[in-house]
Structure 1
Amino acid sequence: MTGRVPSIACIGVIGKHNNPLHISLFPAEERAPLEFQFLLSSCLDIFEARLPHKTADQDFGLLQAVDERLAMYGWMTNTGVKFVVVVDMEGRPATALDSKSATAVGLRDADLKPAFRALQTAYIMLLRNAFYSPPIAANIEQRLGSTQITSRNFIREVQRIAGAWYPGVTNI
């Protein structure tokens, strides 16, 4: 029997006003979207509780272990946008390249830093796009429509990051 390697189950981008900007599930057909929306909402209090103790470091590390299988990790930009990565500890079957990380008992906070850096870069590239207009406040949905990120390039990049990440990766 082959071992299993942790993989990313969900990536959430949460706005400054705690409004969900983007949620991606991996693999989408096997995940319950509502369950992960609740999980992402539940971590917002943890961000708020840890915020007074944070200085220049943007990595919030392990936010919470949902159960023995799912763990949530967080990162906040200097503008208040939060990235949350939910890791499935039994995510995917191990390949020959994953043999070292397949035997790992758990994850270190540093294992997710490359994914968070790549997500932040993707978000910055989205904001640099002259045709993208970011939501101004959480209540604009009533006036302007959805506040969700719908950029195909951003969504494709989030999917690439989730597919490329594995424990021990140093650059994505």
Structure 2
Amino acid sequence: MSTVINCIAIIGKQNNPLFIKNFSNTHPDLKYHYIAHTSIDVIEERGNGVRSLDQYLGLLYAMEDLAVYGYQSNTKVKFVVIVSVTDGVIRDADMKSIFQQIHQAYASHVCNPFFNQDSPSMTLSSPSFLKSIEAIGTTIPISN
């Protein structure tokens, strides 16, 4: 049984894609853009209910051999992790840890005084941010 992070996506509060990183060689980037975009509806549906202190939204949906997990910050920035699963169950504790690390990398990036968050062409492209996301996507094991 193998579980692998295929994609990490960060979606802005205006539902604009801020960052999408494909770690998979089996699916094209466009597929992950589509999955991240369709996950917005599920995140908004779950976010319209009673506001919880837990930002982790859990499994949003599954399709084919992919499972889509979500997390929403207090500022309505959405984080989506797409994992490839062939068999078994992924523990929520593992996914929460991954989302907290992604959120920490994002927060460190946007706290840079030279980063213009209100720019329409805002991208998350600093070398330290990209290195952090690469480390999360390639080295963090997900136990089953």
TM-score norm. by structure 2 comes to: 0.91
Deviates more, 1:45-54 or 1:33-42: 45-54
1:17 corresponds to which of 6, 14, 17: 14
* Matched residue, 1:164: 139
* Corresponding pairs, count: 143
Report if the CA contact (8 A) 1:7-1:165 is conserved. Answer: no
Structure 1 position 71 matched with structure 2 position 67: yes
Report if the CA contact (8 A) 1:73-1:85 is conserved. Answer: yes
Q: Deviation at 1:48? A: 1.1
Residue type matched to 2:36 in 1? Answer: L
Q: Secondary structure at the match of 1:132?
A: coil
Partner Cα distance (1:155, 1:46) in 2: 27
1:114 corresponds to which of 87, 90, 97: 97
Q: Percent identity?
A: 34
Structure 1 residue runs without a partner (length 5+): 91-103
Partner Cα distance (1:31, 1:152) in 2: 25
Equivalent residues in 2 for 1:23-172, closer than 5 Å: 23-27=20-24, 29-53=25-49, 54-67=51-64, 69-90=65-86, 105-134=88-117, 136=118, 141=120, 146-168=121-143
Structure 2 residue runs without a partner (length 5+): none
Q: Return the index of the structure with the highest Cα Rg.
A: 1
Once superposed, what is the RMSD of the aligned Cα atoms?
1.8
Q: Deviation at 1:156? A: 1.2
